Chain A
Amino acid sequence: MDAVAVRQPEMAHEPHPRESFIRHYIFSIDHKMIGKQYFLTTMFMALVGGAMAMLMRAHLGWPDNGVLSPEQYLQAVTMHGTIMIFFFLTVMLTGGLGNLLIPLMIGARDMAFPFLNMISYWTFVPGVITILLSYFVPGGPAGNGWTAYAPLSAVPAAEGGAGLGQTLWIIAILFVVISSLFGSLNFLTTVINLRTRGMSMGRLPLTIWGAFVTAVLALLSFPVLMAALGLLLLDRLAGTSFFEASNLIIGGAASTHQGGDALLWQHLFWFFGHPEVYILILTPMGVVSDIISTFSRKPIFGYKAMVLSLAAIGFLSFLVWGHHMFVSGMHPLLGAAFMGSTIIIAIPSAIKTFNWCTTLWHGRIHFTTAMLFAIGFVSVFVTGGLSGIFLAIAPVDLYLHDTYFIVAHFHFVMASASLFAILAGTYYWFPKFFGRMMNETLGKIHFALTFLGIYGTFYPMHFIGLHSNDRRLYETTAYPFLSHTGPVDVFVSLSAFLLGFAQLFFIANFLWSLKYGPVAGDNPWHANGLEWTTTTPPPHGNWEGALPAVYRWPYDYSVPGARDDYVPQTVQAIPLVAAAGAGGGEA
């Protein structure tokens, strides 16, 4: 019982001669190599961003030790957020997982525009270099938060990192934005036009649906950030007054800028910023759906509802940016409207959560490391989602805004959830791309410590936040009302160190398995997706010979009467159990 191979001359790749080192590893146009480049680059950036977090916690746990100066602390906060969001999660999910998986899961030879794909990676690299370079300029890197609110970001004299560091920050983000635009343009076109025959939109794996909606969001939201960054750069370098208000007194002298509107920055930024957080969560939702289905040996529950809720979340994400600005001085009616649209997002999110749970229900669950991280995703997503309900309510948000409560919220719902899905996806697809299995024991230790570390770090932050501890506060010991949160901060810091330590197991496992892991077959998980039908690792062009044809969705697990508990998408007719196979077993 094999895939019916269909020759498609117009799609066939010529077998390539052995390429030079540079063409193969550096300026490759193969989506798998580009995906690995993105994967490793963003993993490195995650280490940098993680180091920033460790520094922050080292200060916050023991504020009297003076680990960081106030300026350095704000710079650590800023660079942690910037690097994790722009240089790790966004690019890992689109450039990394998207590149690796989209052509393989839809049955394409490569991306629609392979050359543009290579350009996209090589636009990202200058961004990485620029942001790292900003550590080594006078004044240090930007210290104004990943949101770069004007006027602090518009006035070079505002603070330590607001000089050259902030300028380099803007340029670095512009590189990332352009790179992401190239990428999402490519993904969108690829998913629409390069699906193999039989791979209808209704048969796409949910990972691809997630990546597809993500590409739409990125394509429509990143240009807005680009406009805002361009105007901000002009304010800083050319002396325009888009965001810098009149009558600012800087260093005792009045600013020459006139009539700029700092709120305008917030509107533009959050119009991009809210779709951005869904850019970080929709692909993970898809990845987790696929992994949960595979290891429950059950079809995903409510496929259509899963797709529609992805689309609904994507659509709604453009209508809720105002909930980041409840305290910025907004007309109360407008605030109420944003509150309503924000709460509505709970509905598609809940649909997804219930569908994951009902997929697990009565399944034969295999607790692999990938599965543990996928279930962990559901846990942290629910925890973070519930605190989101509080924050969506404008009057409650007035109290909780900018406290550690919101830090806890988005680290659960967006940061941890996204991280868990990336780790789940890495454990799940590592065998396909590197040809070897990762070590399950190390993986499970990694999961257990990470899970405990995440909850230990972020759960207590809810209480610190309810005590009105501001998220950017450097001197936490200076205020009597915070005297009770000191020990909690110590606990949080210790948990954060545990979390950081746990990642060493992952790195060790990754590097060890590359060389010494047991050799993986083509389909080690007995999964249905198209990516498991090719050889491991997939050749240039992804399939030797013709592209496979698809006859079913990727969720035919445990079909009653079938011989195996999985039926790959390329199987035309299900091989039945011999005893029950009257008239149907020959396949």
Chain B
Amino acid sequence: MPTLVLERHRGGTLRDVGGRGRGPSGGDAAPGREPAPVGTGLLGVAAFLAAVTMLFLAFTSAYLARRQEAGWPAFSPPWVLWVNTAVLLVSSGTLDWARRRIRSGDAAGLRRGVEWTAALGLLFVLGQLAAWRQLAARGLYLTTNPHSSFFYVLTAVHGAHLLGGVVALATVLLRSWQGRYTAQAHAGVTNCAVYWHFMDLLWLYLFVLLFWV
């Protein structure tokens, strides 16, 4: 016989339960649709963050390759970056606070926390612009040397992604006004928080990469 019989034999006949798929998760069609272990939205955010990770890994490898060159003209970080870092860390804190508020059903608390987070996020972006001004005042422009080129590019790309996060926060706010989030169902808040914390960590990574590697 050239073919494989893929039926599970029960009671000696081919009839009752259907064939098994091969591979790890083959099996019967269960009576209800099992809920997916990871929500669709969160999966989408995770996939997006994987792509963001690859984007910054590419920048990192380009940066490290250029960093090897003799006479690398490094400059010290503008002081405002320390303030920005603190602002961004606090914004992660406020967002986490907001998420805990909605977990106990407090939608007004959620909105207050999200508003604070978005404000701090915008403040961070303004702070990054201030850092650009401080560098420019020191005569360091985009084309001055490779270090300044990478600094401007990496902060700009990170800032753009963070602004995307602010848009996501605004969406959360809007949906909260529409009463869409409850103590039990607030996946949108969680997904947004995952993205925001990732942007926070990404900034810490870039800060270290640009000035202490």
Q: Which residues of A contact B (CB under 8 A)?
A: 4, 6, 8, 11, 112-113, 181, 184-186, 188-189, 192-194, 196-198, 200-203, 219-224, 226-228, 230-231, 234, 238-242, 258-259, 261, 264, 267-268, 271, 298-299, 303-304, 307, 361-363, 549-553, 555-562, 567, 571-574, 576, 583-584, 586-587
Q: Is the Cβ of B54 less than 8 Å from the Cβ of A584?
A: no
Residue of B nearest to A194 (CB): B40
User: Interface on chain A toward B: helix, strand, loop, or mixed SS?
Assistant: loop
Closest 3 CB pairs of A and B: A202-B23, A198-B29, A551-B18
A-side contacts of B61, CB under 8 Å = 267-268
Tell me the complex Cα distance, A271–B55, Å: 12
- Which residues of B have CB within 8 Å of A226? 55, 58
CA of A586 to CA of B13, assembled, Å: 12
User: Considering the chains assembled together, what is the distance between the CA atoms of A230 and B33 in angstroms?
Assistant: 44
Q: Are B29 and A223 in contact, CB atoms less than 8 angstroms apart?
A: no
Is the CB–CB distance between B2 and A197 below 8 Å? no
A8 to B33 CA separation, bound complex (whole angstroms): 8
The stretch that binds A, out of B44-52, B113-121, B204-212, is B44-52
Closest CB in chain B relative to A473 CB, distance in Å:
32
Residue B137 lies at the interface, judged by CB distance under 8 Å to chain A: no
Assign chain B's interface to a size class.
35 or more
User: Which of chain A's residues have a CB closer than 8 A to the CB of B109?
Assistant: none
Q: Which residues of B contact A (CB under 8 A)?
A: 1-7, 13-30, 32-34, 36, 38-40, 43-44, 47-48, 50-52, 54-59, 61-62, 65-66, 69, 142-143, 145-146, 149, 153, 157
- Interface centre among B1, B7, B30, by most chain A C-beta atoms within 10 angstroms, is B7
Contact, CB under 8 Å: A573 / B58: no
Chain B residue contacts of A223, Cβ below 8 A: 51-52, 54-55, 58
Check B23 against A574 for contact (C-beta < 8 Å). Answer: no
Contacts of A559 in B (CB 8 A): 3, 5-7, 14
Closest to A575 in B: B15
- Take A189-B40, A193-B36, A299-B4 as given contacts and tell me if A553 and B21 are in contact as well, using a CB distance cutoff of 8 Å: yes
- Nearest neighbor of A225 in chain B, beta-carbon distance: B58
Q: A112-B44, A264-B65, A557-B3 are in contact. Are A221 and B54 (CB under 8 A)?
A: yes
A364 to B157, CA, bound (A): 57
> What is the CB-to-nearest-CB distance from A425 to chain B, in angstroms, rounded to a whole number?
23
Most chain B CB within 10 A, of A198, A363, A567, is at A198
List 18 A-B pairs, Cβ < 8 Å. Answer: A112-B40, A186-B44, A200-B21, A219-B47, A223-B58, A226-B55, A231-B62, A238-B142, A267-B65, A268-B62, A304-B23, A362-B2, A553-B20, A553-B26, A556-B19, A560-B5, A562-B14, A576-B14
CB atoms of B27 and A200 under 8 A apart: yes
Partner of B146, one of A11, A202, A241: A241
Contact (Cβ within 8 A) A189 B23 = no
A240 to B15 CA separation, bound complex (whole angstroms): 70
Determine how close the nearest CB of chain B comes to the CB of A177; give it in whole angstroms.
10
Contacting residues, chain A, for B44 (C-beta < 8 A): 112-113, 185-186, 189
Q: How far is B62's CA from A84's CA once the two chains are assembled, in angstroms? A: 28
Question: Could you say which residues of chain A place their CB within 8 Å of the CB of B16?
Answer: 573
A193 touches B40 (CB 8 A): yes
Bound together, the chains give a CA A558 to CA B21 distance in angstroms of 16
Given contacts A242-B149, A551-B28, contact A227 B23 (CB under 8 A): no
B39 to chain A: closest residue by CB: A193
Q: Which residues of B contact A202 (CB under 8 A)?
A: 21-26
B130 to chain A, nearest CB (A): 21
A37 to chain B, nearest CB (A): 22
Closest to B27 in A: A200
Report the separation of the CA atoms of residues A68 and B5 in the bound assembly, to the nearest whole angstrom.
61
A residues in contact with B32, CB < 8 Å: 197
Q: What is the interface of chain B mostly: helix, strand, loop, or mixed?
A: loop
Give 11 A-B pairs besides A202-B26, A220-B50 with Cβ atoms closer than 8 angstroms.
A201-B23, A221-B54, A224-B58, A228-B62, A231-B62, A242-B149, A299-B4, A304-B22, A553-B26, A555-B6, A583-B13
Q: Is the CB of A219 within 8 A of B50?
A: yes
The answer to whether B25 touches A573, judged by C-beta atoms less than 8 angstroms apart, is no
CA–CA, A550 to B25, complex, Å?
A: 13
Bound Cα distance from A112 to B38, whole angstroms: 13
For the complex formed, measure the closest distance between the CB of B185 and the CB atoms of chain A, giving whole angstroms: 13
Which residues of B have CB within 8 Å of A304?
A: 22-23
Cα distance A140–B157 in the bound complex, in angstroms = 31
B17 proximity list for chain A (CB < 8 A): 551, 572-573
Q: How far is the CA of A562 from the CA of B48 in the complex (A)?
A: 46
Whether the pair B29, A261 counts as a contact (CB closer than 8 A) is: no
Using Cβ atoms and an 8 Å threshold, which residues of chain B touch A113?
44
The one of A200, A227, A558 that contacts B3, using a Cβ cutoff of 8 Å: A558
Residues of B within 8 A of A299 (CB): 3-4, 6
Least CB distance, B171 to chain A, in whole angstroms? 13
Residues on B with C-beta less than 8 A from A267 are 61, 65
- Please, which residues of chain A bring their CB within 8 A of the CB of B29? 4, 197-198, 549-551
Closest to A227 in B: B58
**Chain A residues whose CB sits within 8 angstroms of the CB of B52 once the complex forms:** 223
Report whether A228 and B4 are in contact in the complex, using a CB–CB cutoff of 8 Å: no
B residues in contact with A197, CB < 8 Å: 29-30, 32-34
Is the pair B143, A241 in contact by a Cβ cutoff of 8 Å?
yes
* Chain B residues whose C-beta falls within 8 Å of the C-beta of A298 in the assembled complex: 2-3
Q: How far is the CB of A416 from chain B (nearest CB, A)?
A: 30
Q: Are B149 and A234 in contact (CB under 8 A)?
A: yes
Contact B13–A220 (Cβ < 8 Å): no
Q: Which of A240, A271, A560 contacts B142 (CB under 8 A)?
A: A240
Evaluate contact between B14 and A227: CB separation under 8 angstroms: no
- The answer on a CB contact under 8 Å between B21 and A552 is yes
Give A553 to B25 CA distance when docked, in angstroms.
12
Partner of B13, one of A185, A303, A307, A584: A584
What residues of chain B lie closer than 8 Å to A241, measured between beta carbons? 143, 146, 149
A552 touching B6 in the complex, CB below 8 Å, given contacts A197-B32, A303-B22: yes
Bound CA span A230–B154, Å: 11
Query: With contacts A197-B30, A574-B15 known, is A227 near B2, CB below 8 A?
Result: no
Partner of B153, one of A8, A234, A560: A234
Closest chain A CB from B188 CB (angstroms): 13
How far apart sit A6 and B44, CA to CA, in the bound complex (Å)? Answer: 27
Shortest distance in angstroms between A131's beta carbon and chain B's nearest beta carbon? 23
A557 to B22, CA, bound (A): 15
The answer for the CA separation of A420 and B36 in the assembled complex, in Å, is 36
A112 neighbours in B (Cβ, 8 Å): 40, 43-44
Nearest CB in chain B: distance from A154 CB, A: 13
- Nearest B residue to A209, CB-CB: B23
Nearest CB in chain B to that of A307: its residue: B23
**B47 nearest in chain A by CB position:** A185
The docked-state distance in angstroms from the alpha carbon of A262 to that of B38 is 43
The CA of A559 and the CA of B21, in the complex, are separated in Å by 14
